[in-house]
Amino acid sequence: MAQPPQPLPAYAGFQHFVVTSPGPLVAHVEIHRPAKLNAFHEAMWLELRGVFRQLSCDADVRAVVLSGAGDRAFTAGLDVTAASEGGPLSEGEGAVVVDGARKAAKLRRHIAEFQECISAVERCEKPVICVMHGIAIGLAIDISCCADVRVCARDARFAVKEVDIGLAADIGTLARLPKAVGSQSWVKDVCLTAREFGAAEALAVGFVSQVHESKAAALAAAVGTASLIASKSPVAVQGTKELLNHSRDHTVEDNLRYTGVWNAAALQTNDVAAALMSGLKKTRPTFEKL
């Protein structure tokens, strides 16, 4: 019987995330708070930033899989109890009344840091494949929209829940979800109503690209895709992610110009010759670490 992958020593210091390597040059990041449905408090999103910043620079990693521990949830989003007890909106008994402008400045800084922590998933130089199952609401949408590829299990239950707790989603969903799917009408439908939608609907609108029968099957498929990506030139993969993300947020003309500048450097890599020769010789190429 195969032994499960062991945690990578370089990532052992993280309390709320377990990082293993299920295959060569592939990292698997698991949100690890299953007793609380992997709901996030501040220490967790700060750690998420640390994990993905480290992965971005890790030469032994070329692709990343992100999932949630346990059978019930990818993540139930924000830990509302923790936020109400210790967050910037909490006002316990005896709290000092703060001038509105100063309170707003504090909240703005808090939101900006929260956004930056979640955006670390998108900014990671390595492709990230997000595997969702069970409950995947609120912050789950923010996080998964930062991933490059999204897959899910058939039991996944999604929702943009923020309007149900009295606020507009502010950590990335409203910025990224309209660019991740093809229908503004559908995006406004789910964001304004906070209604739940399932795996079949997520697939139909393009929010996910694959639906599998179980979490295990979805995870296996994601690891397979990550392994395939990891076998490619890391120069080519990094450039492709960078240029696709740039294309999403810029005009065609701007992206063509940026691509020319990027590839003026990247095309000097030895990986091009190695890939071409392997194709001619019908061999599997190997590429140096990046």
**Domain harbouring 152, CATH code:** 3.90.226.10
Strands (E), 133-228: 135-137, 149-153, 157-159, 197-198, 210-212
Which of 190, 215, 230 corresponds to the end of one domain?
230
Do 110 and 239 share a domain, yes or no? no
Q: Is 258 found in the same domain as 172?
A: no
My answer on whether 275 and 162 are in the same domain is: no
The pTM assigned to this predicted structure is 0.94
As a whole-number percent, the residues of the chain with pLDDT over 70 amount to: 96
Whether 82 and 186 map to the same domain: the answer is yes
pLDDT band at 207 (very low <50, low <70, confident <90, very high): very high
Query: What is the residue range of 248's domain?
Result: 234-281
pLDDT above 80 for 2:
no
Asked if residue 22 has pLDDT above 90, the reply is: yes
- Give phi and psi for 19, each to the nearest 5: -115, 120
Residues 267 and 153 in one domain: no
Token pair 């001619």 is found at 280
**Mean of pLDDT values over 10-22:** 97
- pLDDT given at position 239: 98
User: What integer is the mean pLDDT of 29-47?
Assistant: 97
The answer to the question of residue 128 being in a domain is yes
Domain CATH number, residue 271: 1.10.12.10
> Are residues 238 and 159 located together in one domain of the fold?
no
pLDDT tens figures, 163-179 = 999 999 999 999 999 99
Cβ atoms within 10 Å, residue 270: 11
- pLDDT higher than 70, residue 27: yes
In the listed set 230, 247, 267, which residue is the last one of a domain according to the structure?
Answer: 230
Q: What is the pLDDT of residues 106-123, one digit of tens each?
A: 999 999 999 999 999 999
Residue 176 lies in a domain: yes
Mean pLDDT of the 33-40 span: 97
Per-residue model confidence (pLDDT) at position 87: 66
What mean pLDDT, rounded, does the chain reach? 94
- The residue with greater pLDDT, 84 or 14, is 14
Shared domain check, 106 and 65: yes
pLDDT at 257 over 80: yes
Q: Are both 195 and 133 inside the same structural domain?
A: yes
Judgement on whether residues 142 and 210 belong to the same structural domain of the protein? yes
Are 212 and 258 contained in the same domain?
no
Position 30 in a domain: yes
In a domain, 108, yes or no: yes
| Domain assignment of residue 118, yes or no | yes
Q: Is the pLDDT of residue 89 over 70?
A: no
Q: Looking at the DSSP assignment, which residues form a beta bridge with residue 129?
A: 65, 149
Domain endpoint, select from 196, 212, 230: 230
Our CA dihedral for 261, 115, 156, 216, rounded to 10 degrees, sits at 60
In a domain, 69, yes or no: yes
| Shared-domain flag, residues 166 and 276 | no
Q: Model confidence at 53, in pLDDT bands (50, 70, 90)? A: very high
189: its two tokens: 């439908």
Distance of alpha carbon 237 from alpha carbon 208, whole angstroms = 21
Quick check: 88 pLDDT over 90? no
pLDDT digits (tens, 9 = 90+) for 119-141: 999 999 999 999 999 999 999 99
Q: Considering the domain boundaries, does residue 198 fall inside one?
A: yes
- The more confidently predicted of residues 243 and 1 is 243
Asked if residue 248 belongs to a domain, the reply is: yes
What is the DSSP annotation of 44-113? HHHHHHHHHHHHHH-TT-SEEEEEESSSSEEE--B-HHHHHHHSTT---TTPPP--HHHHHHHHHHHHHH
Share of the chain above pLDDT 90, in %: 86
Does one domain contain both 111 and 246? no
Q: What is the mean pLDDT of residues 263-275?
A: 94
- How many domains does the structure of the chain reveal? 2
Those residues whose C-beta lies under 8 Å from the C-beta of residue 31, and which sit 6 or more positions away, are 16, 17, 38, 44, 66, 67, 68, 69, 74, 75
**Mean pLDDT, range 224-232, rounded to an integer:** 98
